[in-house]
Amino acid sequence: MPALAIGRSIPDITLDDSKGTPRRLREIVRSWLVVYFYPKDMTPGCTSEACDFTDLAARFEALDAAVVGVSPDGVKSHAAFIAKEKLGVELLADPPADGGTPRAAGAFGVWGAKSMYGRTYMGVIRSTFLVSRDGKVAKAWENVKVPGHAAEVLATIESMAAGSSEVATPAAKKPAVKKSAVKKPAVKKSAAKKATATKSLAKKAAPKKKTAKKRAGTRK
């Protein structure tokens, strides 16, 4: 089953959080909701991913974005994982239902065949969904690589939020005026200034002529 496509509404599913409290996904949505599916608690890759989202928790909060992780692990496992790593994101339990397929992972299309050391098995395909206020998928990441992923999700929300807030403003912005366009033309020296300068030079030259005459008179 393919992953839930962009523009589709998220399934109406209720899962227990790490305290055993039922949480309905559609009610968790604020301005944004990040739902990231991961394979298993306490494993290296899943720990790094949870810690990365935790490190950026304040910035997600500033954008009014809730972040929840979902895996097939149970409530107790989630509680221990949060306590051990001091996680700042909520984890929801999605245990396998009848037929061995977790409800949320199956509904989001992230439960599929995986292989490791030549062995094929069914499990969670690491994926993340960004859900907008209307409960629809705005962006989806499949087969996620952990390094840098949380930061990329945050950057996507920041970009989308900025785009939606600036739609009505471009027309009101005045174009930047280059300095070269407002330079004043060079002002030429006026004829009067030139005349003044000429007279000044003439005065300076005059004493030399008188001195020459005096010298001539003395010689006589």
pLDDT in tens, 103-145: 999 999 999 999 888 899 899 999 999 999 999 999 999 999 9
46 is catalytic: yes
Q: Is the pLDDT of residue 211 over 50?
A: no
The phi and psi torsions of 140 (rounded to 5 degrees) equal -135, 140
- Residue 153's contacts (CB-CB under 8 Å, 6 or more residues apart) are 34, 36, 128, 130, 141
The domain segmentation of the chain, as residue ranges, is: 14-165
Res. 29 pLDDT band, cuts 50 70 90: very high
Whether the per-residue pLDDT at 7 is higher than 70: the answer is yes
Whether 167 shows a pLDDT value over 50: the answer reads no
Amino acid identity, position 141: W
pTM over 0.75, yes/no:
no
| pLDDT tens-digit map of 78-103 | 999 999 999 999 999 999 987 789 99
The catalytic residue among 3, 4, 25, 46 is 46
Mean pLDDT of 61-69: 97
CATH number for domain 14-165, candidates 3.40.50.300, 3.40.30.10, 3.90.550.10, 3.90.76.10:
3.40.30.10
Half-sphere exposure of 26 (CA within 13 A, CB side): 9
